[in-house]
Amino acid sequence: MREEPQILQRADFGALFTALQSRGFTVVGPTVVDQAIVYEELDSVEDLPIGWTDEQDAGRYRLRRRDDEALFGYVVGPQSWKQFFHPPHVKLFGASRDREGALRFESSNEETPRFAFLGARSCELHGMAIQDRVFLGSGYVDSEYAGRRENSFTIAVNCGQAGGTCFCTSMNTGPKVDAGIPHDLALTEILDEERHYFVVTVGSEAGRELLSELPTVPAAGPETRAADELVAKTAREMGRTMNPKGVKELLYQNLEHPRWEELADRCLTCANCTMVCPTCFCTTVEDVTDLTGENAERWRRWDSCFTIDFSYLHGGSVRQSAKSRYRQWLTHKFATWQDQFGSSGCVGCGRCITWCPVGIDVTEEIAAIREEP
Query: Which CB atom, from 213 or from 287, has the smaller least distance to another protein?
Result: 287
Q: Which is nearer to another protein, 27 or 200 (CB)?
A: 27
Shortest Cβ 361–another protein spacing (Å):
13
User: In the complex with another protein, which residue's Cβ is closer, 69 or 290?
Assistant: 290
Is the CB of 177 or the CB of 356 nearer to another protein? 356
What's the CA gap between 269 and 308, in Å, rounded? 9
Taking the complex as a whole, the smallest distance from the CB of residue 134 to another protein amounts, in Å, to: 19
Residue 143 CB, nearest approach to another protein (Å): 22
CA distances from 208 to 6, 184, 370 (A): 11, 8, 46
We find the least distance from the C-beta atom of residue 308 to another protein, in angstroms, to be: 5
Beta strands 26-33 and 36-41, pairing class: antiparallel
Minimum distance of another protein from residue 373's CB (angstroms) = 22
Which residue number, 49 or 207, has a Cβ lying nearer to another protein? Answer: 49
Judged by the rule CB under 8 A, the positions of this chain that interact with another protein are 33-36, 38, 59-63, 78-79, 83, 88-89, 265-272, 275-276, 286-293, 301-302, 304, 306-309, 322, 354-359
Q: 249 or 261: whose CB is closer to another protein? A: 261
Least spacing, CB of residue 66 vs another protein, in Å:
17
